Amino acid sequence: MGSKAEKTSQALNDIYNRLFDRYGPQHWWPGETPFEVVIGAILTQSTAWSNVEKAIANLKTARVLGPESLHSIPTGDLAILIRPSGYYNAKSTKVKAFVERLHDKFDGSLDQLFALDTASLRHELLSIHGIGPETADSILLYAAYRPVFVIDAYTKRIMGRLGIASANDSYETYRQLFMDNLKHDEGFFNEYHALLVRHGKEVCRKKPKCNGCCLAALSKNKCLSA
């Protein structure tokens, strides 16, 4: 009989293996540069990635997708460019808050910001207006290439239905579930999160498609949607 930690680790790895066998590699995150990934992580809050792509395309067309350009552009003009991402007034303020911190404290250099150790970098990101835990961890994993697990609604839904965690648990509880029980590897965390998103979109929806689900055999509660 293994310990509880060993069983949890085995269960999480089993989920990953089943998802990978079903879907294969996902090649996340879309973005040509780390800075573009950062801006995308902020813009993707409460919207689909397809909308973010339109906003990013607007920024590129206007030649303002860079730290200095975004620092200089008026907030109102920025809001117009990122309108496709939704909540554009609030998001323009969030983007400006990030680039202003980068400008004021790190000489406008993403490399200087990313030179911080992981714990300090996460703390710094969370202290910026508009950057919460999910956005901060997305930046850490996908832009700074740190082995930090990103938790989102799909992950909470899947783990809750499998009985591995409670849907009422906090973001940090879910985050520690993965951080404490899996090997710390940036590529592995990247792939795992992407696979959970894929499964959440296609199968483990709000109204789940349980027939044929590659994780159904692992469920402790028959994957009830309640």
Would you say residue 171 has pLDDT above 70? Answer: yes
Burial of 212 per CB tally in 10 Å (0-12, 13-18, 19+): exposed
| 18-61 residue pLDDT tens | 999 999 999 887 788 999 999 999 999 999 999 999 999 999 99
Q: Are residues 48 and 137 in the same domain?
A: yes
Q: Where residue 221 falls among pLDDT bands split at 50, 70, 90? A: low
- Cα of 215 vs its chain's centroid, Å: 22
Would you say residue 1 has pLDDT above 80? Answer: no
Would you say residue 225 has pLDDT above 80? Answer: no
Would you say residue 226 has pLDDT above 50? Answer: no
pLDDT score for 222: 54
In-domain check, residue 112: yes
pLDDT score for 31: 83
Query: What amino acid is encoded at 142 in this protein?
Result: Y
In-domain check, residue 81: yes
> Of 76, 111, 143, which closes a domain?
143
> Of 143, 162, 178, which closes a domain?
143
Pinpoint the alpha helices (H) of 83-204.
88-106, 110-114, 118-126, 133-138, 153-162, 171-181, 186-202
Bigger pLDDT: 30 or 105?
A: 105
Bigger pLDDT: 114 or 225?
A: 114
Q: Where residue 223 falls among pLDDT bands split at 50, 70, 90? A: low
Residue 193: both structure tokens together: 């999160």
- The pTM is what? 0.93
Distances (CA, A) of 91 to 63, 76, 96: 19, 11, 8
In-domain check, residue 224: no
Q: How many CB atoms lie within 10 A of CB 115?
A: 12
pLDDT score for 3: 84
Q: Are residues 40 and 135 in the same domain?
A: yes
Domain with 79, as residue range(s), is: 34-143
> Of 120, 143, 166, which closes a domain?
143
| 139-156 residue pLDDT tens | 999 999 999 999 999 999
